[in-house]
Structure 1
């Protein structure tokens, strides 16, 4: 299997018997690569030229979360001292263009900015934000509503609930945008 007829132009591959599970309401753009133990939830979107490689551990993308163009998700596999680190993305998360998310966990409404890197064992709590271009070192924790910036990322400030709620606006916009792209792609492949 090199694809899924629901997502023309995307590469969706099993690995060692594990087949990606993609909800029927999700959007996977052409050029995206989804490999192995990957689950993509309802209304989630994986955009052009993203790679989600669940070969040595699992990747989960929650409902309505979006993984924007060129982003890469991978995992840390088991070692003698650990069971490894999956990549778990909660609901209503925003992953900006060209982000690298590796073996870490994002709670609901977490935000990873464009070009940011989140490394093994890191966590971003609900409404937490890793700024554009930032590097979240292994094992670091961004607290609820906190914004971290820089390389390596350091605490900058805490958002209030109204600012955290704006993340949901981004996810709603991407849900709508995904449906428009899907309609255009279907029209192009049928006509």
Structure 2
């Protein structure tokens, strides 16, 4: 019987396919134990999918660019006619949800934020923790979006941009360390 554990530690990630498609994972990408990647998912170079996250592409593609970090317990799911596309250097904070939407290069989706079907988050934008991007809305590039429902609060400042630029490299380094974790 499979008890979900191997060698005394947690089972590895669940990466699987079916009639609706199979994942394509770049060899340098890392998927944490306990994460689920299923269906037509493409995961780019040096990207990471952290503990408890689910990437489900059973109706449309989920495309994850290079150096993307999908932090703990995130959810990505496509809908018919609405793929999920995360461009290069995107960061998804813990428990963020992206459902049938596009997040452009260098953007950061904050902890617990939700981006819904047909929405688009512009290049280098920051969606604040707990915020909602409603269906079909566009977050302009280089802006801070906050609230439920969200709206543009201000243009990003230099400090904001530094955080957005630093996060992908930071998580790539952390992923390299977590690849070597030994489980008791």
Instruction: Calculate the TM-score normalised by the size of structure 1.
Output: 0.87
Q: Which of 12, 29, 48 is the matching residue for 2:51?
A: 48
Taking the aligned partners of 2:97 and 2:159, their CA distance within structure 1 comes to 27
Cα offset for 1:167? 1.1
Q: Any stretches of 5+ residues in structure 2 without a counterpart?
A: 1-10
Query: Quick check: 1:102–1:118 contact (8 Å CA) kept in 2?
Result: yes
Instruction: Calculate the TM-score normalised by the size of structure 2.
Output: 0.90
- Displaced runs of 4 or more, over 2 A: 160-166
Question: How big is the alpha-carbon RMSD for the aligned residues of Structure 1 and Structure 2?
Answer: 1.4
Number of positions where the alignment pairs a residue of Structure 1 with one of Structure 2: 174
TM-superposition CA deviations, 1:62-104 (whole Å, max 9, x none): 1001000000000111xxxxxx100000011110000110000
Is the helix fraction higher in 1 or 2? 1
Cα offset for 1:162? 5.9
Is the strand fraction higher in 1 or 2? 2
The answer to whether 1:135 aligns with 2:135 is: no
Q: What is the match of residue 97 of structure 1? A: 94
TM-superposition CA deviations, 1:97-140 (whole Å, max 9, x none): 00110000011001100000000010011101111000100011
Taking the aligned partners of 1:41 and 1:32, their CA distance within structure 2 comes to 16
Taking the aligned partners of 2:159 and 2:131, their CA distance within structure 1 comes to 23
Q: What is the match of residue 150 of structure 2? A: 153
Q: Any stretches of 5+ residues in structure 1 without a counterpart?
A: 1-7, 78-83
